[in-house]
Structure 1
Amino acid sequence: MPLTTVAGLKPLFNNVLLKKIVESRKVGGVILPDTARTPLQQATVIAAGPGSYNQVGQLIATSVKEDDKVLFSDFAGHKLSVMGDEYIMVRDSDIIAKLP
């Protein structure tokens, strides 16, 4: 059954739902090929799971929250298409940095 909305979608454990910030494929009127893209992508956090438990039962909370801007590897996670919008579900550890 295809997803029709991400509203109410709650990632489990240390999973984070991201919406990629689409960068322009044109620079000065020249269309850039996909091979010219950086392997790091920018995204907005849509939802984050509570975290995961370590071996002694302590909760290790996810390090991001809704609306954070982040960098992640383009090769990380699982891609989801919802009503024409692209989302990515990644693990908290796949996020490389938070942006200001």
Structure 2
Amino acid sequence: MKIRPIGDRILIKFKEREEVTKSGIVLPDTVKEKPQIAEVIEVGPGGIVDGEKVEMVVKKGDKVIVSKYAGTEIKIDGEEYTIIRQDDVLAIIEED
């Protein structure tokens, strides 16, 4: 199944966080924070939001930092994804 976001929405997949601390302590799911770094899987075409034209800045394959509690979580074919608006992207990670 393929998901194609509409408007200024972006389909992302969060990177998994380590479940064990550096000192070897295993963290239960209840104390883990939601990760903020994600990979962009698909990007909507942009469009008009609140009367203004929105150009999409992010592209498929980008690694981004997103707002902590942004988006709508969905599960497709056993994989977890999140759909967010471009405004929820705080930064694009550029690797040297």
TM-score range, shorter chain: 0.7 to 0.9
CA contact (8 A) 1:17 1:89 kept: yes
Aligned residues: 91
Structure 1 length-normalised TM = 0.78
What is the aligned-residue identity percentage? 30
Q: Which of 30, 48, 51 matches 1:53?
A: 48
- Code of the residue aligned with 1:35 in structure 2: it is V
Structure 1 residue runs of 5 or longer lacking an equivalent are none
Q: Which of 44, 69, 73 matches 2:67?
A: 73
Pairwise CA distance, 1:52: 2.3
Pairwise CA distance, 1:63: 1.4
Distance 1:79 1:42, change over 3 A: same
After superposition, the CA RMSD in angstroms is 1.9
Q: Which of 34, 38, 43 matches 1:43?
A: 38
CA contact (8 A) 1:18 1:47 kept: yes
Pairwise CA distance, 1:17: 0.3
Q: Secondary structure at the match of 1:26?
A: coil
Give the structure 2 partner of residue 95 of structure 1: 89
Structure 2 residue runs of 5 or longer lacking an equivalent are none
Structure with the larger strand share: 1
Pairwise CA distance, 1:23: 1.2
CA contact (8 A) 1:40 1:73 kept: no
